[in-house]
Structure 1
Amino acid sequence: MSKIDIQSAPVSAGSRYPEPFAAPCRDKIRRRLAVAAGLKHIGVNLLELAPGAWSSQRHWHTEAEEFVYVLEGEVVLVTEGRQEILHAGECAAFLPGDPDGHHLQNRSGALARVLEIGSAHLQNDEALYPDIDLRAATSGYFRKDGTPY
């Protein structure tokens, strides 16, 4: 396969988080470019964040690497005790095992587009959410005590 038709790539819209954590993450669209290309070991998404939307809840991964590149607009990268504006042409990366959770917020009045790249389909990877009672594994969402949502 060569050229990917971005408009016909599979779309993941809204939030899959359990309530009450879904609300700030609803107004977004992820176009699953790696899935459209048949890639198995890398995830590549075109993330479209409406004004006010978050990319996710603040999280970190035990095994997955993540990289974001702002294509259009601006987003605020929120980490533990730190907030930085990323403009179009700027990027950030996140190593697995670093408990300084992160997420992006679109605080502007315009749509932001971000290219997300990361490890995919890691069986033992978990996402941990330092601000809320949530942890994610390949089998679903759980509270920090292990009970499922």
Structure 2
Amino acid sequence: MPKIALETIPASNGTPYPAEFAGPFAGRWTRRVGSAAKFEDFGVSHVTLEPGAQSSQRHWHEQEDEFVVVLSGTATLVDDTGRTLMVPGDMAVFPKNDGNGHMLVNEGDQPCTLVAVGAHGRGDCHYPDIDMHLFHGKGWRRKDGTEFPEQE
């Protein structure tokens, strides 16, 4: 049956980011709907941002288009053009290789839920505000290519 019961998909608030950049995600809960559906070409995530949490570090992808739609609550889109309030029904698109670093931050006092759609790990990912770069096939490293210390 194509219908998915969201509550049957485990919510995780982990992040694969190196420890020094992982702090802002303690209040981000993600349900990987695309993985539960066994999608191969793109991912779909149902994301809840608690007040103060952010979706990611500000980033952009070389080979991955991204799309988000806010379902409830509010979030502030932070990108190269500034800060934009997003309310339920608002959508944002991030074409691959456009160089526009972006993230969402819940600056409100209620949880914000959204759906995020993107490809699975294609190409490098750039982080303009921090000394981190996702090298395709090699993982997160510093911008000069050196590895982060082992995480405990």
TM over 0.5: yes
| Cα separation, partners in 2 of 1:138 and 1:11, compared to 1, 3 Å | farther
RMSD value over aligned CA atoms?
1.3
Choose 139-148 or 61-70, whichever is displaced more.
139-148
Q: Percent identity?
A: 38
SS at match of 2:36: helix
Q: Which one-letter code corresponds to 2:125 in the other structure?
A: A
Tell me the equivalent position of 1:132. Answer: 130
CA distance in structure 2 between the aligned counterparts of 1:19 and 1:120, rounded to whole angstroms: 22
Tell me the equivalent position of 1:59. Answer: 59
Tell me the equivalent position of 2:146. Answer: 147
Structure 2 gaps of 5+ residues are none
Structure 1 gaps of 5+ residues are none
As a proportion of its length, which structure holds more strand? Answer: 1
CA distance in structure 2 between the aligned counterparts of 1:61 and 1:25, rounded to whole angstroms: 20
Q: Deviations over 1:43-63 (max 9, x none)?
A: 100000000000000000000
TM-score normalized with structure 1 length:
0.93
Q: Which one-letter code corresponds to 1:23 in the other structure?
A: G
User: What count of residue pairs does the alignment treat as equivalent?
Assistant: 147
Task: Report if aligned partners of 1:9, 1:35 keep a CA contact under 8 Å in 2.
Answer: no
TM-score normalized with structure 2 length:
0.91
CA distance in structure 1 between the aligned counterparts of 2:91 and 2:137, rounded to whole angstroms: 27
